[in-house]
Structure 1
Amino acid sequence: MWMRKLLRGVAGGVCALVTVLLIPGCTVGPNYSLPAVATENRWQDAKGAAALQPEDVRWWRDLNDPQLVSCIEKGISGNQNIKEAEARVREARALRGVAAASLLPQVGSSAVYNKTRTSSTAGIISELPENLKSEINFEQDFYQVGFDASWEIDIFGGRRREVEAASARAQSSIESYRDVMISVISEIARNYVELRGAQRQLGIAEKNIGIQEKTLSLVKIRWDAKLVSELEVEQAQAQLERTRGSVPSLQASIREGAYRLAVLTGQPPDSLLDELLATSPIPNPPDIVPVGLPSDLLLRRPDLRRAENDLRAAVSDIGASMADLYPRFYLTGTAEPQSAKFTDLFRANSFAWSFGPQISWPVFQGGRIRSNIAATEARRDEALARYRQAVLTALQEVETSLAGYGQYQVERERLALSAKSQSRAVELARQRYERGIKDFLTVLDAERQLSDVENSLAMSETRVVLNLIGLYKALGGGWQL
């Protein structure tokens, strides 16, 4: 009964005090607002692109290469950098929980047992007669159970600002995770396309080796017939060996790409060799790329969203530091049953308790608080500058990728026409040489030019797709999985 009365009294006192304290309550410090950033209404150079929102955020599917899709899906589930970023998200969320706990009452408990014996040969007890000493109990037991509670009432909002900052940092870690995912996806796609580009160049080299072997055979026949000099034989042999010399480096590049792709997907280096060493064409880009509007980047790119949340956290830190200028209010209480006998520990007359408010207000800190406020304001300004610079960089990356994508497409088309014409020129040069109309240098020059232009075409085809991957990355696509 007495415990119920005590609890009702304490609860009533708490409610009354909280009501009085919260009436003038406020949250100190500036409130966050998204800074204004100027963006254009359209992209400057959007050849092959359209101001449409992508229907499928998995842009790699638009390249129509099942093996590429398989590699990326393996990377999303197995890449260790993604797992590391995911762990940082869990850490940030847990730290947000730590900050939020400061808004709630903190309750603790303790238990103590002591057994003591008093000396019968020291002090005043030693002077007592032995018959009296025999009636004294020199050994005593002590039992105590303690419960203590404290609650900081967040009148000026310092703790709430800390929770705001922790929430923003948790969201920033999520955006970092998404940014890592975009980087891993684009890196897998780049390495895959480079591998297929090296295979394309290897195929060209092997085809040209076949052409040059036929040319060498023709020259040797004419040399045996005393129709040409040894010089022409050596020239044909030299050109063939030059082309053969390009094969080992291309084969090495292909294997290196396969090793990198395996590691990017979280597997041992040799795990994808069987899949990737089989020759396959360079992925074919789509006719139209949906790029949206410049303003869409603010919502789509994780690095911009991360920079915004970093700014949000920095603004909340100002309020948390300003709260140190004001008093802190606490409610504290303890309840401690104490007894020499365990059976009496929870009786009414064994309870000792205390309850009351507490105020803490720093009087002199040597300028520490205001210096800390100035530091948090400077960090806010740093975060604002980083955010604005990140937006400018993002716009520049998209514009650069769009310009490159359009121009590389033109380059690829022209090189394709050049390769077709040069292939025909090789046939004509060989025919004229066989009829004795042209010298052998014309044939060698035509074959060399064919090899060069076909290699240039293969590299251009690779650049087109690599630039498209860079464009997708610059647009911030892929993290919405």
Structure 2
Amino acid sequence: MRRPLFLLLAAAGLAGCAVGPRYATPQTPAPAAGSFSSAPAVVTSGDATSPTWWRLYQDPVLDRLVEQALAENLDLKVAAANLDYAEGLVSETRSNLLPSTTLDAGAAYGRSAAANQAAIAAGKSHAKAGWGYSTGFSAAYQVDLFGQVRRAIEAARANAGAAQAAEDAVRVTVAAEATSAYAQACGFAAQAAVARRSLAAAQETFDISRRQREAGAISDFDLARAEAALEQARAAIAPLDGQRRTALLELAALLGKTPSEIPAEAAACVAPPQLAQPLPTGDGATLLRRRPDVRQAERVLASDTARIGVAVAEFYPSVSLGGSIADAAGSVGGLRRPGSISYSLGPLVTWSFPNIALARAHVIEARAQASGALASFDSTVLQALKETEQALTAYGAELDRHGALKAAAARSDEALRLARIQYEAGTISMLDLLTAQATALGADQALAASDQQLALDQVAVFQALGGGWEQAPKVTALKVG
């Protein structure tokens, strides 16, 4: 039995086999590689998304804010620390390919069993207590016959790749959220400006109405309605200012700043950013290669597949080569004498056979985990495609709405201008003027809100496309100790 087992182990060692399944990148659905069906043809192009897509807005303030967020955001620092940890696990696992060594030395006071026996043999009751000194060195090397260590390294490397992809996914989110917060702050500032213009118009209407009431041309009822419209216009301003400050506070947090450190250049923005060119979308195949969450799911699958090999290797013997040398004496001067030195050298084979229930359970667990990772990868692919199509659909719908609102605002402003002329001429009533004023106010506010929503929908498309991480700066985790 010794010779066949030795030949089996030697053959396996020479072949350098690694048990378990060989990993292959899973296929994605063929229809996913084409262009996006929901992309509005007039305002989008099939060009690949820019790695620095926020620069397409040609807004230097936005460029600086996003770059600062990509360098200082604290969620990114968390992701960087997670990546450092994953890379540390790779180094830890790789260390199993190297021999383990131990060096020790010590001194102890007492009476050894060997000294007692020698004393008894010499006719004494026991040996005298005294100091003893010892030194030792041992080394052991695990022969990776069935690739358990190599599969563990493969799993650790894939896990580090997943951590890198997770960090890139945070970069995508940070760039998108910083741009969204900036667009929201600018959009609310624009809506507040419209509300202030409406307040000025309502104040003008009220002043005219008050003069007409003093002249007896209108009733107290008409004056009260004009005053009510004035206060309603005034009431619309405060919520918009509050929402604008909320967006600025969100932006400060994304930049790693405290609420008291809101960027002044962002606070000065008065209109949401607008694209100066068609939005580049690329195609589905490019999307799936670029999205960090898809890459992360693929790396998790690779790691879990490699762990199947780690579990399968438990069915086979584990062979270690070890050796040790020890030196012990009753005095320091007695060390290194031939009689005080002992050594050992040889292989150690351990095998849980025939009780393989635990190994079988580990394989079942590993295969189940890999199966879940494969399903998660497929789900992530579908999620990426769905999110992109949804974002493009919302963008297209808002474009149509924005066009209609723009036309409505122009007509309403013209109607209000004519209503004021006719009211001052006495050809229409106060109610007609207030109605025209309310309609114009609503149209202008709706258009300003649509300007903001259009910018947010564009950012949602860019985020769904997964760009923004490719040229981002390296983030260093916070130092502790």
| Superposed pair shares fold, TM > 0.5 | yes
Cα 1:66–1:400 change in 2 (3 A) is same
Aligned to 2:25: 34
The 8 Å contact of residues 205 and 226 in structure 2, kept in 1 or not, is answered as yes
**Structure 1 residue 374: Cα displacement:** 1.2
Quote the Cα distance in structure 2 between the aligned partners of 1:30 and 1:263. Answer: 46
Aligned to 1:323: 313
Deviates more, 1:408-417 or 1:465-474: 408-417
The one-character-per-residue Cα deviations of 1:74-127 (angstroms, maximum 9, x if unpaired) are: 212221111111100000110111111112211111112234469xxx999799
Aligned to 2:70: 76
Residue aligned with 2:236, SS: helix
The one-character-per-residue Cα deviations of 1:47-98 (angstroms, maximum 9, x if unpaired) are: 22222123x4111111122222222222122211111111000001101111
Cα 1:339–1:123 change in 2 (3 A) is closer
Letter in 2 for 1:51: G
Quote the Cα distance in structure 1 between the aligned partners of 2:337 and 2:403. Answer: 95
The one-character-per-residue Cα deviations of 1:273-305 (angstroms, maximum 9, x if unpaired) are: 643332422111232122211011221011000
The one-character-per-residue Cα deviations of 1:193-232 (angstroms, maximum 9, x if unpaired) are: 1111110110000001111111111111221121111111
Letter in 2 for 1:80: L
Deviates more, 1:421-430 or 1:140-149: 140-149
Residue aligned with 1:333, SS: strand
Cα 1:105–1:239 change in 2 (3 A) is same
Residue aligned with 2:261, SS: coil
**Structure 1 residue 429: Cα displacement:** 0.8
Gaps of 5+ in 1: 1-15
Residue aligned with 1:331, SS: strand
Q: Is it true that 1:50 corresponds to 2:50 in the alignment? A: no
The one-character-per-residue Cα deviations of 1:415-470 (angstroms, maximum 9, x if unpaired) are: 22221121111010111122222222211111111111111111111111101111
Aligned to 2:174: 184
Residue aligned with 1:34, SS: coil
Cα 1:407–1:20 change in 2 (3 A) is closer
Report the structure number with the largest CA radius of gyration: 1
Aligned to 2:83: 89
User: Cα RMSD between the aligned structures?
Assistant: 2.6
Quote the Cα distance in structure 2 between the aligned partners of 1:455 and 1:216. Answer: 21
Letter in 1 for 2:140: S
The 8 Å contact of residues 255 and 273 in structure 1, kept in 2 or not, is answered as no
**Structure 1 residue 411: Cα displacement:** 2.0
**Structure 1 residue 140: Cα displacement:** 4.2
Residue aligned with 1:449, SS: helix
**Structure 1 residue 137: Cα displacement:** 9.1
Gaps of 5+ in 2: 1-6, 473-481
Aligned to 1:6: none
Residue aligned with 1:102, SS: helix
Percent sequence identity over matched residues? 28
Cα 1:460–1:210 change in 2 (3 A) is same
Quote the Cα distance in structure 1 between the aligned partners of 2:450 and 2:458. Answer: 12
Residue aligned with 1:156, SS: coil
**Structure 1 residue 152: Cα displacement:** 1.0
User: How many pairs are equivalent?
Assistant: 459
Quote the Cα distance in structure 1 between the aligned partners of 2:121 and 2:455. Answer: 103
Aligned to 1:109: 103
The 8 Å contact of residues 258 and 270 in structure 1, kept in 2 or not, is answered as no
Quote the Cα distance in structure 2 between the aligned partners of 1:114 and 1:17. Answer: 46
Deviates more, 1:305-314 or 1:349-358: 349-358
Quote the Cα distance in structure 2 between the aligned partners of 1:409 and 1:229. Answer: 45
Quote the Cα distance in structure 1 between the aligned partners of 2:173 and 2:321. Answer: 50
Q: How do 1:324-473 and structure 2 match up within 5 A?
A: 324-365=314-355, 367-473=357-463
Quote the Cα distance in structure 2 between the aligned partners of 1:294 and 1:18. Answer: 49
Residue aligned with 1:23, SS: helix
**Structure 1 residue 382: Cα displacement:** 0.6
The TM-score normalised by the length of structure 1 is 0.90
Deviates more, 1:22-31 or 1:456-465: 22-31
Quote the Cα distance in structure 1 between the aligned partners of 2:129 and 2:358. Answer: 54
Quote the Cα distance in structure 1 between the aligned partners of 2:438 and 2:91. Answer: 68
Deviates more, 1:270-279 or 1:422-431: 270-279
The one-character-per-residue Cα deviations of 1:356-413 (angstroms, maximum 9, x if unpaired) are: 0111110244622212211111111111111101101100111111222223223222
Quote the Cα distance in structure 1 between the aligned partners of 2:18 and 2:230. Answer: 80
Cα 1:333–1:239 change in 2 (3 A) is same
Letter in 1 for 2:44: A
Quote the Cα distance in structure 2 between the aligned partners of 1:212 and 1:331. Answer: 92
Letter in 1 for 2:453: R
Quote the Cα distance in structure 1 between the aligned partners of 2:343 and 2:422. Answer: 113
